[in-house]
Amino acid sequence: MNILHIDCSARAHSHSRQLSAGILAHLLHLHPQARVVRRDLGHQPIAHAGDGYATALASPAAMAAAPHPDAVRLSDKLIGELEAADLVVIGTPMHNFTVPSVLKAWIDQIVRIGRSFAATSEGKQGLLADRPVFVAVASGGVYSGERPANRTS
């Protein structure tokens, strides 16, 4: 049993960190032998998609001729961590009604055409196995009900 534990807040006393740590503690109680792989994006951000990676993603031919081996190395590593995980726990703040840029940088590295999803005539199809993902979100506002985008307090 492998658990991938990701945190995205830069704050030391972050609410989302506390929440994700609580979820992790509960999962470890259920699976005491589990191995935890840590990705602290808030304190150790990864690089945003750069020239080499973005160019490689443009087409299969561009991927085959990636400008240098480092272009997709980080993406390979992060996708590998995800594939090896039986459970994923993500603690994240809401930043400007979406995820913080450090989490978006991770998403841009793991959502990769031809590797983690395929574009087909029926639309996009995921290529990774389904697994439970627990997302612990902290926000300044309260979002709930049928239209959670409408702040209620």
Ligand X SMILES: Cc1cc2nc3c(=O)[nH]c(=O)nc-3n(C[C@H](O)[C@H](O)[C@H](O)COP(=O)(O)O)c2cc1C
Build a one-symbol-per-residue string for 6-45: x at contacts with ligand X by CB under 6 A, - elsewhere. Answer: ---x-x--xxxx----------------------------
Binding to ligand X in span 103-142, by CB under 6 A = 138-141
44 contacts: CB under 8 Å, gap ≥ 6: none
Q: How far is the CB of 3 from ligand X (least distance, A)?
A: 19
Any bridge partners for residue 125, and if so which?
Answer: 118
Q: How far is the CB of 119 from ligand X (least distance, A)?
A: 31
Q: How far is the CB of 91 from ligand X (least distance, A)?
A: 7
Residue 9 falls in which region: left (phi positive, over 0), alpha (psi -120 to 50) or beta: beta
Structure tokens at 39: 């990705």
Q: Where are the beta strands (DSSP E) in 41-97?
A: 87-93
**Which range in 46-54, 58-66, 92-100, 127-135 contacts ligand X by CB under 6 A?**
92-100
